[in-house]
Structure 1
Amino acid sequence: MSALPLSRVGRVRRVTWTALLWFAAVVYPFVLFATVTKGTGNFVAYEVLASAVLTVMAGALLLRHPLPAHGILLFAWIVALVQMQNGVVAGLLVLITDLGVGYIAASRRRRISVTVAVVTLALQLLSALAFLSANISATIDILILTVVLAMAVTWMAGNSVRVRRAHAESLREQATAQAVSAERLRIARELHDMVAHSIGIIAIQAGVGGRVIDTQPVEARNALNAIEVTSRETLSGLRRMLTALRRDDPDSAPLGPAPGLDDLDRLAEAAKDAGVKVGMSRRGERRPLPPDVDLSAYRIVQEAVTNVVRHAGTDECRVTVDYRDEELSIEIDDDGHGGVVGTGYGIAGMRERVGLLRGDFTAGPRPGGGFRVAARIPLPAAVR
């Protein structure tokens, strides 16, 4: 009998844990009520322990479902205070429910957190008045002021956490946008080199054809065919990419001949020297690709393998290049620690490259462990 997949086991654990937390939250008010009403009102050790455990579990539910969990906590402690009329219970009511308000202020929109804070404060004050009715010696002004100040401080602390988190997210988005712009500029430089190389070939072939057109018409025809193929490939690449890229950069420097999928063996050797064995697998009929597709495919493999070397914590990975009829499929997967989603700009750069070529890109942890990068790039009809 085969074992359950890891993803299914994880899902069963999550469902079981969530069900246990909800069960604890439902029975929590009854256990707390029984605890505070035991005998003459004195706490019994095992009942206090049960209430403490259920309080922690209800707090854990608060992290996943803040609003209903906070409502359960508020209801339970108000009933306990009204029933027992004890100063310790009153203090715990304010402390626990204020912590719930603070978490909601940190994790929910301001409109929601303000509403929850106002409702909670009103119920706290009503409970305090009920408590004071049985404890006339208590000072009402000091108690009310303490409850209000505690709520204000807790809500402001939670809201401050939310604001800082939103600011940090905004900074990350700006940094990602800057990284995408930088990646576009780098692609523009590489595309410039590809165009310059193609124009150079066209110029050479045109010169050869002009010199032999009278004496060697076959050679002249071959030169013209080479010019046609090169110019069509270059125009196709420009048409797909140039409108999405920056037109020029005064400080750009030549990058040398653009690499392609034929250079993957050298990339694998470099990765091997760095301690990672790259298993290369090619499928389908290998054929020349448009320069922009060939370059982008190489860069995707290069970035993914570099991430494996730097972050995966494994000594091997697999690269699969599939030359399909209408598209080029690339997969890079490993059995390491799960990749680097969300921690760098390599993933954003690869996604940008594939998006410019109107392809599909995915990157994320594999169900059985490890990390996978996959890209599908459509091919022009001329190379199908």
Structure 2
Amino acid sequence: MSELIRSRRAWLGAHPLVADALTSAVLTLACLLVAAFQDSYGLPGKQPDLVSGLIVGVVVMSLTLRRRMPVAVLAFVLVGCLTLTALGYVPMLGPAAAYLIAIYSVASHRGLATSLPVGAFGLMLFIVSMALDGYWFWQAVSNSVLLIGVWWIGRSLRLRRAYLDELEARARRLERAREADSRAARAEERSRIARELHDVVAHHVSVMTVQAGAARRILHRDPEAVQDALSTIEQMGRTALGEMRRLVGVLRTEAEPARSELSPQPGVHDVNGLVDQLRETGLQVQLWIEGESRALSPGVDLAAFRLVQEALTNTLKHAGPQARAWVRIQYADRQLEIEVEDDGRGLVAGLGRPGGNGHGLVGMRERVALYGGDLRIGPRSGGGFEVRARFPLEVQ
């Protein structure tokens, strides 16, 4: 039931003309019922009849257009009120309520340059009409205060809407800026990953070239050595081809010129050295490598090392001086699992916010996604921060 009510409210909010038409119709019916049983309290004038009912109905129903044409609706309501006064009818609730709503609509849907003079003119006519209708002085004063209060409420709501609209616009601008920064970070990380994969592929191609040259020189002298060299070339070629496919997939911008030197890229076997370096900085790190170690594809090997490196770097930066970290690398049958945890205050430092600005977290996601893995980054149960990744391994 509540869902139905919310959906209908949302629909009416998206169709203000229909909402105002329904409100005007209900208000018209209520005003006509009140006018039919109205007590004139001894005020001079004609009692409500069919003519006055028609005028009241038309005046109140004009509020349907109060948001689109508030000034015109106010003018129409004024004409209706003056018509009833000129015909000598006693004051009725319907026109008075329509007049207050029209004043509110002008203040709520038009700027100060329009609503202030229109409201002042309406107040003057309101005072004159009350004097003609025989109201007492204090009644005229209280009704005037009511009219001014209605105008002020409409003006305040307009200012509040403008303020909320500005906040929403600012939030949209910030969201677009954050998305642009995130795209730039992803592009930067992909470019860096592509350069590293380029080095991996170039290394394998270099080995293939050397092996092919050696095989050519000993082709007639040592056929068995040639067979070994060809097997190595075949294996290297397949590995290089797989890495090349990933390189084409991750590269989104123009590749930078290849670096002249082909320095070896780090891998899981270098995590021990990385942990020793961080221990020298004062960070307490414990490392476990579980399962039977195996040869990994160069891309996965590099991605796993970079993930541990980035996670421990974030721990060093954000976890605090007394933090401890734990690294677990597990070789499973078909996957490589990596867990990096700390007991610091990484979440407080902002690392746990989704879509954070840290480019390192973006790089982690890009690397793991590149090899079809899963990644979880977030607060650790019991305090601290954790990074959990899973890389699927090809069956040899």
Which TM-score bucket, shorter chain as reference? 0.5 to 0.7
Instruction: Give the equivalent residue in structure 2 for 1:155.
Output: 161
User: 2:285 matched to 1:278?
Assistant: yes
Structure showing greater radius of gyration is: 2
TM-score, normalisation: structure 1: 0.62
In structure 2, C-alpha distance between the alignment counterparts of 1:138 and 1:378, rounded to whole Å: 77
Q: Distance in 1 between matches of 2:362 and 2:229?
A: 41
Q: Structure 2 residue aligned with 1:353, among 367, 370, 378?
A: 367
**Who is 1:307 aligned against?**
314
1:294 and 2:308 correspond: no
Residues 173 and 354 of structure 1: CA distance in aligned 2, closer, same or farther (over 3 Å)? same
Deviation at 1:246, TM superposition (A): 3.7
Q: How does 1:224-303 map to 2 (within 5 A)?
A: 224-246=230-252, 248-251=254-257, 253=259, 256-303=263-310
User: Residues of 2 paired with 1:333 and 1:135: CA distance?
Assistant: 72
The correspondence for 2:327, drawn from 319, 333, 355, is: 319
Q: Which secondary structure state, in structure 1, belongs to the residue aligned with residue 387 of structure 2?
A: strand
In the aligned structure 2, how far is the partner of 1:278 from the partner of 1:133? 82
Length, aligned pairs only: 259
Alpha-carbon distance in structure 2 between the residues aligned to 1:248 and 1:166? 30
Q: Within 2, Cα distance between the matches of 1:247 and 1:158? A: 39
Match of 1:365 in 2: 379
Q: Which runs of 4+ in 1 moved over 3 A?
A: 132-135, 250-255
Length-normalised TM-score, structure 2: 0.60
Give the residue type in structure 1 aligned to 2:328.
Answer: T
Equivalent AA in structure 2 for residue 258 of structure 1: Q
Aligned residue number for residue 193 of structure 2? 187
Q: Please state how far the C-alpha of 1:358 moved relative to its aligned partner.
A: 1.0
Paired residue for 1:173?
179
Alignment check: 8 A CA contact 2:323 2:342 kept: no
Aligned to 1:58: none
CA contact (8 A) 1:241 1:356 kept: no
Kindly state the Cα deviation for residue 137 of structure 1 after the two structures are TM-superposed. Answer: 6.4
Question: In the superposition, relative to structure 1, how do residues 248 and 147 fare at CA in structure 2: closer, same or farther (>3 Å)?
Answer: closer
Report the identity percentage.
38
Deviation at 1:369, TM superposition (A): 1.0
Distance 2:291 2:298 in 1: 19
Superposed CA RMSD? 2.8
Would the aligned equivalents of 1:275 and 1:315 in 2 still touch at CA under 8 Å? Answer: no
Letter in 2 for 1:318: W
- CA deviations over 1:115-160 (Å, ceiling 9, x no partner): xxxxxx97x979xxxxx97972652442222111111112211221
Which runs of no fewer than 5 residues in structure 1 stay unpaired? 1-113, 115-120, 127-131
Report what 1:71 is aligned to.
none
- Which consecutive unaligned segments of at least 5 residues does structure 2 have? 1-66, 68-99, 106-137
Q: Give the partner amino acid of 1:309.
A: L
* Aligned equivalent of 1:220: 226
